Amino acid sequence: MLDQIFDYLNFHFSIEAPIVLLILVFLEAVLSADNAIALAAIAQGLEDKELERQALNFGLVVAYVLRISLILTATWVQKLWQFELLGAAYLLWLVFQHFTSEEAKDDRHHGPRFNSLWQAIPVIAFTDLAFSLDSVTTAIAVSQETWLVLTGATVGIITLRFMAGLFIRWLDEFENLEDAGYVTVALVGLRLLLKVVNDNLVPPEWVMVTAIALILAWGFSKRTLTESPQVEAEKTEVPK
């Protein structure tokens, strides 16, 4: 029984396995930056900070199940261009919704707003799934051993949760970061769309990583102005 499971997962440990695993974890971390911003911006659609944390936790648990399912069915999914088209359309719809939303009091666009935790969880899960359509393909190109890809995905989802938590805080501190995040979401959506149209038009990974790094640098370039309370000094009369 175990032999059959190991064969299905291509579990063949070798001296190169730790090196390949490190590469997969590194790729997951690098390619998760734009995903983390998007998930953080979505979670901010809940007004309460505790609900934001719960939305990320529950949403990424569902996302993890969907990501594992995607990896196990990757050979079949990769043959159906409709999945990539749906993923591209979903991500581009998120971007459109963000930039066409009414500006808030801070003169900035914001992501979707939710009335309850259960509205945010599926949006977080399906957003991660749309991103995974691209990252899983990259991971499988690095290693054909399913167990390595699954292990990389597990570490990746933990890293994603940590990064999304950081970005939730940073979104309040940097004025352009949310817009920068949605621009990177647009890049991923357009990349998926190009894969559907013509795979030869898809830019290499280093171009995507460089573009995302430049966009994030712009996102971190300007801190949000906060009004500091002015404390007026009390005038006291000096007794004569």
The one-character DSSP state at 200 is G
Q: Are 55 and 46 in contact (CB under 8 A)?
A: yes
What integer pLDDT is reported at residue 231 of this predicted model?
A: 40
Tens of pLDDT along 67-89? 888 877 776 776 778 888 888 89
- 229-238: long-range pairs with CB below 8 Å, 24+: none
- Residues making up the chain, counted from first to last: 240
Coil, strand or helix at 223 = strand
* Higher-scoring residue by pLDDT: 211, 238: 211
Query: Rounded to 5 degrees, what are φ and ψ at 223?
Result: -80, 150
Q: Are 178 and 110 in contact (CB under 8 A)?
A: yes
> Considering the chain, what percentage of its residues have pLDDT values greater than 90?
4
Residue holding tokens 């957003």? 127
Q: Are 123 and 42 in contact (CB under 8 A)?
A: yes
What span, in angstroms and rounded, lies between the C-alpha atoms of 207 and 189?
A: 15
Q: Is the pTM of this model over 0.75?
A: no
Tokens of 77: 């999914």
- Confidence band for 33, pLDDT divided at 50, 70 and 90: confident
